[in-house]
């Protein structure tokens, strides 16, 4: 247990579900050290683009982690405008989440877009500044955890700008970096970008991408065994183990992250028509949130099941880019990389050491691999493990960092 020599509080800012998934384990780790934690659901949540996953909400409740969502509008300047937005947001949020309001009607009336219209009226920079002023105090040392500090997210940027030099800002990155660009002209210049005080990197490739003065390679906390054991307590497992068909999970990536989109879609249609396959497609939570699948794929298309639940209740996992593949590594699942639909302008850092049988170069190879799959077959996922655990156990690494950082 951390023996603190000063009063500490920790604030987490997640702009979307992606960031929520990556930051949640850091919040639980801090809570277990008896550090007061506040978690802010940011832009994508208060515009109803996404909603918080039930398992994470329950975990936060169980670990006494305070959360903010619509509450961030109830203070500061232009109070009436923000209060009005809050009332409208609460109404829309209830309509979005209710089971008694058909999805077709929600889509027809573009309910989720209404929040964005109202948000454009409000000064986003003022919202972030007001939020920072509300949460800052002179009696505590404040830590701010984010995945990435990006200027384009106005509320997040103004929040962190106000917090800079008044709190310590810690970045965790967005997912473990598992590929690099072949085109050096696409590499971003960092001269005008803001940066965190400390960056906790999953691996050397992620550390090289960040411009923070202090960078520490800890491994990826989201894909640590300890966090996985916590998530397992909240998983909905299939009661029966007698599955006649082979359960195939596709971790889909959006069109701009796919090398051959049309070929990929044709492949999905072939898979769903196979009599020996139960197919589930989990679309990218942000990049594919507004996509409507073709009719033939609607029953397989699953936007509601969490990544953890989906991976737990499958046999084989297919992907061509998604970092969600590391959840399958944790659960020792059969993994197949669809190289023939993947982007050709990136280098996967694990590919050189990957076993040949997980690299699928054409459709016929994939169907053969699925036919030959056996639950008792040996699974060699070591090439992926080096990406998320380069320095041993991430949970211990981040815990040791916090102990040292807070007592210095």
Task: State how far the Cα of 127 lies from the Cα of 130, in Å rounded to an integer.
Answer: 5
Task: State how far the Cα of 167 lies from the Cα of 159, in Å rounded to an integer.
Answer: 11
Residue 83: per-residue pLDDT: 65
For residue 167, give the DSSP letter. Answer: B
Domains, the chain, with CATH or none: 8-224+390-407 (3.40.50), 242-387 (3.40.50)
Task: State how far the Cα of 238 lies from the Cα of 39, in Å rounded to an integer.
Answer: 31
**Judging by DSSP bridges, how do beta strands 346-348 and 179-181 pair with one another?**
antiparallel
Return the residue matching tokens 């490739």: 205
Tokens standing for residue 173: 């990155």
Task: State how far the Cα of 19 lies from the Cα of 253, in Å rounded to an integer.
Answer: 17
Task: State how far the Cα of 378 lies from the Cα of 90, in Å rounded to an integer.
Answer: 50
Task: State how far the Cα of 209 lies from the Cα of 379, in Å rounded to an integer.
Answer: 31
Instruction: Please list the alpha-helical segments (H only) found in 147-188.
Output: 154-163
- Dihedral (Cα; 119, 120, 121, 122), 10-degree rounding: 60
Residue 235: per-residue pLDDT: 82
- In terms of Cβ atoms closer than 10 Å to its own Cβ (0-12, 13-18, 19+), residue 392 is exposed
- In terms of Cβ atoms closer than 10 Å to its own Cβ (0-12, 13-18, 19+), residue 15 is buried
Long-range contacts of 330-336 (CB under 8 A, 24+ apart): 330/223, 330/225, 330/228, 331/228, 332/379, 332/381, 333/379, 334/373, 334/377, 334/379, 335/379, 335/381, 335/384, 336/360, 336/366, 336/369
Residue 378: per-residue pLDDT: 82
Closest CA to 235 of 314, 139, 334: 314
- With b for 16 or more beta-carbon neighbours within 10 A and e for fewer, the 90-125 pattern comes to eebbebbeeeeeeeeebeeeebbebbeebbeebbbe
Q: Where are the beta strands (DSSP E) in 208-311?
A: 214-217, 246-251, 277-282
Q: Is the Cβ–Cβ distance between 112 and 96 less than 8 Å?
A: yes
Task: State how far the Cα of 130 lies from the Cα of 40, in Å rounded to an integer.
Answer: 13
Q: Is the Cβ–Cβ distance between 254 and 288 less than 8 Å?
A: yes
Task: State how far the Cα of 258 lies from the Cα of 65, in Å rounded to an integer.
Answer: 37
Task: State how far the Cα of 68 lies from the Cα of 74, in Å rounded to an integer.
Answer: 11
Give the chain's count of helices (H) and strands (E). Answer: 16, 14
DSSP β-bridge partners for residue 316? 248, 334
Return the residue matching tokens 């934690």: 37
Residue-by-residue pLDDT tens, the chain, 408 positions: 444 456 889 999 999 988 999 999 999 999 999 999 999 998 888 777 778 888 999 999 999 999 987 565 554 555 666 666 666 666 666 666 665 556 555 454 455 566 566 666 667 787 888 889 888 877 778 999 999 898 888 889 999 999 999 999 999 988 899 999 876 555 555 555 678 999 999 999 999 988 888 999 999 999 999 999 999 998 877 655 557 899 999 999 999 999 999 999 999 999 999 999 999 999 987 778 778 899 999 999 998 898 999 999 999 999 999 999 999 999 999 999 999 999 999 999 999 999 999 999 999 999 999 999 998 888 899 999 999 999 999 999 999 999 998 887
Find all residues with CB under 8 Å of 233, minimum gap 6, and list them.
none
Q: Is the Cβ–Cβ distance between 183 and 173 less than 8 Å?
A: no
Task: State how far the Cα of 319 lies from the Cα of 337, in Å rounded to an integer.
Answer: 5
Report CA-CA distances (Å) from 235 to 187, 325, 394.
Answer: 39, 17, 22
Tokens standing for residue 323: 């970092």
């Amino acid at each position: 247990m951390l023996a603190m020599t000063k009063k500490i509080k920790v604030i987490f800012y997640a702009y979307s579900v992606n960031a929520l998934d990556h930051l949640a384990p850091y919040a639980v780790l801090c809570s277990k050290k008896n550090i007061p934690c506040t978690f802010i659901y940011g832009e994508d949540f208060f515009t109803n683009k996404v909603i918080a996953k039930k398992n994470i909400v329950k975990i936060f409740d169980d670990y006494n982690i305070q959360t903010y969502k619509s509450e961030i509008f109830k203070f500061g300047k232009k109070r009436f405008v923000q209060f009005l937005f809050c009332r409208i947001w609460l109404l829309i949020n209830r309509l979005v989440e209710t089971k008694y309001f058909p999805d077709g009607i929600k889509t027809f009336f573009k309910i989720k877009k209404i929040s964005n219209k109202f948000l454009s009226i409000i000064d986003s920079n003022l919202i972030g500044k007001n939020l920072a002023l509300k949460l800052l105090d002179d009696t505590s040392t404040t830590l701010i955890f984010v995945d990435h500090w990006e200027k384009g997210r106005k509320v997040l940027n103004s929040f962190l700008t106000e917090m800079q030099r008044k709190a310590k800002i810690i970045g965790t990155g967005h997912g473990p970096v598992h590929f690099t660009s072949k085109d050096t002209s696409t590499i971003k210049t960092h001269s005008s970008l803001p940066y965190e005080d400390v960056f906790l990197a999953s691996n050397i490739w992620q550390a090289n991408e960040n411009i923070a003065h202090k960078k520490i390679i800890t491994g990826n906390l989201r894909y640590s065994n300890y966090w996985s054991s916590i998530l397992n307590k909240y998983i909905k497992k299939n009661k029966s183990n007698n599955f006649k068909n082979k359960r195939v999970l596709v971790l889909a990536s959006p069109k701009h992250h796919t090398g051959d989109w049309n070929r990929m879609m044709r492949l999905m249609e072939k898979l769903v028509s196979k009599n020996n396959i139960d197919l589930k497609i989990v679309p990218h939570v942000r990049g594919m949130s507004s996509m409507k699948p073709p009719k033939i794929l609607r029953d397989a298309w699953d936007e509601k099941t969490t990544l953890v639940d989906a991976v737990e209740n499958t046999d084989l996992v297919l992907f061509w880019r998604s970092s969600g593949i590391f959840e399958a590594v944790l659960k020792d699942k059969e993994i197949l990389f669809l190289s023939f639909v993947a982007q050709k302008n990136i280098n996967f850092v694990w590919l050189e050491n990957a076993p040949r049988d997980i690299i699928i170069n054409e459709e016929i190879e994939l169907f053969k691999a699925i036919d030959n799959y056996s639950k008792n077959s040996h699974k060699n996922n070591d090439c992926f493990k080096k990406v998320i655990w380069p320095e041993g156990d991430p949970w211990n690494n981040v815990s040791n960092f916090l102990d040292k950082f807070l007592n210095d």
